[in-house]
Amino acid sequence: MPIAAPDASRASLADHPPAPKPPGPTRVAPAASYLHYVRGYLQELADRDDAALAEYAKALQVDPDSVALRHHAASLAFKQGRYEDGIRFAEEVLRRDPNHLPTLFLLGRWYAGTTDRVDRAVELFEHMTALEPEKAEPYLNLGLLYGRLERYADAERVIRRAIAIEPNAPAAYLYLGKVAAGQHKWDQAVAQFEKAIELAPFFEHAYIALGDLYAQRGDRAKAVGVYKRLLAKVDPHDADAVGRLVQLYLQERTFDQAIELLDELLRGDPKNVEARLLKGRIYGEMGKPAEAIAELEQVIAARPTDTAALYYLGRLYDEQKQPEKAIVQFEKIVSLDVDLLEAYLQLGLLYAKAKRFDEASAVVEKAKSKDAERPEVYLVSGFVYSQSERYDRAVEFFKEGLAKFPDHPQLHFNLGLTYDKLKQFDGFVKELEEAIRLDPKYSEALNYLGYTYAEKEMKLPEAVDLIQRALAIKPDDGAYIDSLGWAHFKLGQWDDALKELERAASLMPDDAVIQEHLGEAYLKKRRDQDARESWLKSLELDPANAKLIERYKSAGFGDPEAEERIQRAKAKKEAEKPATMNQNVSERAASPSSI
């Protein structure tokens, strides 16, 4: 049967038993050479590879002309991952004996697994076919290599030569199918894969190739059918088939079927951590955080340093408003000093939201030292410094990012927000306009600029147009609807304002800014009791809004702080001491989710 390249996937190459070891020195050689060879062989049997290689090296010092010893040394070097040594030993064998079949196979197999020496692999296997013209295996290996090089006519020729020698070789039909698929001859490919399965009903690779072909062609139903055939006929717990089926179910968002399949796999192999990790991720996609967390915690119990499980668990805790638990997961990842940049950035954001600004700054600086060539580094770093009110430092990060990524709309947007904090209005407008120019559907930028114009009572028709463009992208966004209502209010269009603000309040009933705006609209319509109620709701949500307290008093509604409901809200806020930032319209636009 054909070779399997060292780093190739099982789905692409057939299994191949290891080439038989050649005997030790076969000619008369010094006794010391045999002694070191035998010692080396015994060390190899005991899996003490370093000691074995040392003995073979000593044997070669005594008997430098031994081809068999050099082959042993090459095999062991490849096994240890010392590839340059393996190549050197093997090429030396072939210089001394160009027809040494075990080394031709060993070196050809190695070169077949590379990207830049496939031509050398072809040369070696072509030589093997010349040495063994009545053996099918070298032709199959050669056909596979020709196929990789898109030499399809040559590939088909040598594979059919193998079939002439061994008519019932299932791997030959598998490879013919791959050659046909490479030329987009889909029906021929299907026929060849089915022939391989007919000859070898337990031939996993043929099922996988056929299922993959159907999936590639977009025929998911047939792909699912093939993978299920494999599970039914070959192995009900085959990881390749299960993995592919799960991916198809995920693409179709048939999550229950994916979970059912993984449960079946786990019944056969309860310690399959990868299946449990995938199950946790799927539960997360299904909106079942408790189940997802339970699965991921089991993964971490089995593999405490599994960064993927730690990362997903951290994200889940963050989504569930459990920031301290989320921080613990990301801190574990960072402590491992791995290159999972997203973990550093998520930790920086969580520290910033918790007002742990020194730690946030330290972790984003470390993220930059890990990878300074990704725009997210500058987005998150600038955001962290902005949240700590170190706006000049935030500007530096955003500008540094723009020097590398000048056409990145989010960098322009966040730089503009920082200029807004610094009261640099011209810079703010310039950056938001640039963000919109780069991405005309950047709804956050459209809304933010439109709302700012409305708040400043300038360019009001343009403000309405900008906000309406944002709403065309996100028609049910309560914050955007509030912006539109506020722009109508500033234009004196009270009925339109009230209509939009009431709709915004229905979508986001717990937003203090929307309730404040709605109160103003009610007041214009002389609905004083509704205005008073909206403002009290706003103050319940944000009892520290001194501007609204004074507005409430000036409207003749009395002192809102004397209201029992406001006193309770103040006490509750004081007890909570929230670490999250105040969610006004501006801050919603600049929240970590937009970064």
Q: 363-413, pLDDT tens digit by residue?
A: 999 999 999 999 999 999 999 999 999 999 999 999 999 999 999 999 999
pLDDT class of 32 with cuts at 50, 70, 90: low
Q: 71-103, pLDDT tens digit by residue?
A: 888 888 888 888 998 899 899 999 999 999 999
Please compute the mean of the pLDDT values over residues 319-343 and round it to a whole number: 94
Q: Where are the domains of the chain?
A: 1-167, 440-594
Please compute the mean of the pLDDT values over residues 468-484 and round it to a whole number: 98
User: Of 12 and 93, which is predicted with more confidence?
Assistant: 93
- Residue 85, pLDDT score: 87
Q: Do 579 and 353 touch, CB atoms closer than 8 A?
A: yes
Q: 160-208, pLDDT tens digit by residue?
A: 999 999 999 999 999 999 999 999 999 999 999 999 999 999 999 999 9
pLDDT class of 33 with cuts at 50, 70, 90: low
pLDDT class of 40 with cuts at 50, 70, 90: confident
What is the C-alpha separation between 521 and 493, in angstroms, rounded? Answer: 10
Q: Which residue is associated with the tokens 């997203």?
A: 342
User: Of 142 and 62, which is predicted with more confidence?
Assistant: 142
Angle subtended by helix axes 83-96 and 101-112, to nearest 10 = 140
The yes-or-no answer to whether 1-167 and 440-594 have a common fold is yes
Q: 492-551, pLDDT tens digit by residue?
A: 999 999 999 999 999 999 999 999 999 999 999 999 999 999 999 999 999 999 999 999
- Residue 191, pLDDT score: 97
Angle subtended by helix axes 323-335 and 341-353, to nearest 10 = 140
Q: Percent of the chain scored above 90 by pLDDT?
A: 75
Q: 340-374, pLDDT tens digit by residue?
A: 999 999 999 999 999 999 999 999 999 999 999 99
Q: Which of 28-32, 332-336, 351-355, 482-486 has the lowest mean pLDDT?
A: 28-32
- Residue 4, pLDDT score: 35
Cβ atoms within 10 Å, residue 264: 14
What is the C-alpha separation between 419 and 416, in angstroms, rounded? Answer: 5
Class of domain 440-594: mainly alpha
Own/partner contacts of 253-256, CB < 8 Å, gap of 24 or more, are 255/282, 255/285, 255/286
Residue 121, amino acid: A
What is the C-alpha separation between 165 and 466, in angstroms, rounded? Answer: 74
Q: Which residues contact 536 (CB under 8 A, 6 or more apart)?
A: 560, 563, 565, 566
Nearest to 216 by CA among 11, 434, 516: 11
Q: Is 526 left (phi over 0), alpha (psi -120 to 50) or beta?
A: left
Q: Which residue is associated with the tokens 């491992």?
A: 336
- Stretch (H or E) spanning 186: helix 186-199
CATH superfamily membership of 1-167: Tetratricopeptide repeat domain (1.25.40.10)
The alpha carbon of residue 299 and the mean position of all alpha carbons in its chain are separated, in whole angstroms, by 18
Q: Do 399 and 415 touch, CB atoms closer than 8 A?
A: yes
Phi first, then psi: what are they for 541, rounded to 5°?
-75, -35
Residue 405 in tokens = 């990524």
